[in-house]
A = this chain, B = another copy of it.
Amino acid sequence: MRPSGRDPAALRPVSLQPGFARHAEGSCLIRMGVTEVLCTASVEGRVPPFLRGQGQGWVTAEYGMLPRATHTRGDREAARGKQSGRTQEIQRLIGRSLRAVTDMKAMGEMTVTIDCDVLTADGGTRCASITGAWVALHLAFEHCRRMNIMTRNPLKDQVAAVSCGVFQQVPVLDLDYAEDSKADADANFVLTGAGGIVEVQGTAEGAPFSDAELMALLGLARAGTAELFAKQREAAGL
């Protein structure tokens, strides 16, 4: 039995609220249960040094958590003077996931920086960030199209992510914090609308897991992201 009483294959209630941030070219506030992440997309008319003069764009991401997004207050990374390894790992994952569905040649020499800031954390913040970030990115590209900065939206597909895990021997979808902290294994899947795998990150917390378990988790993730893709299209006005 899951602590939340959810069915093993059930997502938490999901909402994606586009345009939450007033100033950003694109933004989305995503809620998955109690987890709440504000995703903004900022467009800038230049690329990092390693891409200059190549006629292509870049998409990158930064991730942060408000100090009291969690049950007990965490250090403010700005005050401590550096980002944790976990933060860096997550923001690298978000950036790779979005670049996997973006035609960077079609962007021109522009950079879109996605900021994912966790207002409230209850497990699954990196996955929620990716799912919400796609909406913010889509809206920013649409903004560029309306401004005639781009002739078409460079997104080739949707991308969304969900975490699954083995909890008390049962594969379950969309771990919340109560499950995540006790799961035997958990895996984050980043999948495309067309059904391809962009990233899979599975970790045994207790005993190692088997090939069959990995496949079962992937199956749950595929069902879960199908729902998320629908929510994304709705939020993006597609």
Binding site for B on A (CB under 8 A): 21-24, 27, 34, 38, 40, 42, 44, 62, 64, 66-73, 76-79, 81-89, 91-92, 96, 100, 113, 115, 117, 119-120, 122, 187, 191-192, 194-204, 207-211, 213-215, 218
Contact = CB atoms under 8 A, between A and B. Distances in A.
This protein's copies in its complex: 6
Nearest to A62: B76
- Chain B CB within 10 A, most for which of A66, A71, A82, A91: A66
B21 A120 contact: yes
Given A85-B88, A200-B200, 19 more contacts: A22-B122, A23-B120, A40-B66, A40-B67, A40-B68, A62-B76, A68-B115, A78-B87, A82-B82, A86-B92, A88-B89, A187-B200, A192-B208, A194-B208, A196-B210, A197-B209, A197-B210, A201-B202, A214-B218
Contacts of A195: 208, 210
29 contacts: A21-B66, A21-B68, A21-B69, A22-B34, A22-B120, A23-B71, A23-B72, A23-B120, A24-B68, A38-B66, A42-B67, A42-B68, A42-B73, A44-B73, A64-B76, A67-B113, A67-B115, A68-B115, A78-B82, A96-B203, A100-B208, A191-B208, A196-B208, A197-B210, A198-B203, A198-B204, A199-B204, A200-B202, A200-B214
